[in-house]
Amino acid sequence: MLAKLQSLSGSSEITWMPKPSVRFENLRNSSAEKITLLRRNPLSIPNTDYIQMMLELSKEQGFEVTYFDIDELTVNGQYQCLAELSTSPVTVCHGTGITCSNAHNDAAHSALQYIKIMAAIK
C-alpha cells in the first residue's frame, strides 16, 4: 500500500495532514466577530450569500467546509449537495436548489443554522 501511495504522489515521502477540527465547546466559548454576529443576527435575510458567510466563519474559527454535489436530482428536479464541516463531531448538512450554486447556498444556510444552535447551548 505504501508503495502504491508513493507511486501516486511521485515522492518517497508521504505526509498525512488531517483536516483542522474545531469542537463545538470552542464555538460556544468564542467571542470572535463572525460567531458573535451569527449568534445575534437572524438567518432569514433574502438574497444572502451564505456560502461567503460560512467561508468567513470557517476561516475565523479554524475549520474547513467541503461541498459534495449529489448526482441525483430531487423528485422536484432540484440539484442537491451536502456541506461537510470539519467540526468535532463532523457536521453534514443537506441543501437543494434550482442550480448547483443555489444548492450549495442552501446547504451553507442549513449548516449556519446548526452552528448557531450548537454555539448557543451552554
Domains present along the chain, CATH in parentheses: 17-120 (3.30.160.20)
Residues 6+ positions from 14 with CB-CB distance below 8 Å: 2, 5, 6
Question: What pLDDT shows up at residue 120?
Answer: 86
DSSP 62: T
Question: What pLDDT shows up at residue 119?
Answer: 87
Angle (nearest 5°) at CA 67 between 10 and 19: 55
Question: What pLDDT shows up at residue 85?
Answer: 95
Q: Which helix (H) or strand (E) holds 83?
A: strand 79-85
Amino acid at 28: R
Question: What pLDDT shows up at residue 81?
Answer: 98
The residue written with cell numbers 467546509 in the block is 65
Question: What pLDDT shows up at residue 22?
Answer: 79
Note the pLDDT tens digit of each residue in 30-55. 999 999 999 999 999 989 999 999 99
Question: What pLDDT shows up at residue 91?
Answer: 94
The β-bridge relationship of strands 87-88 and 91-97 is unpaired
Where the chain has pLDDT below 50, the residues are: none
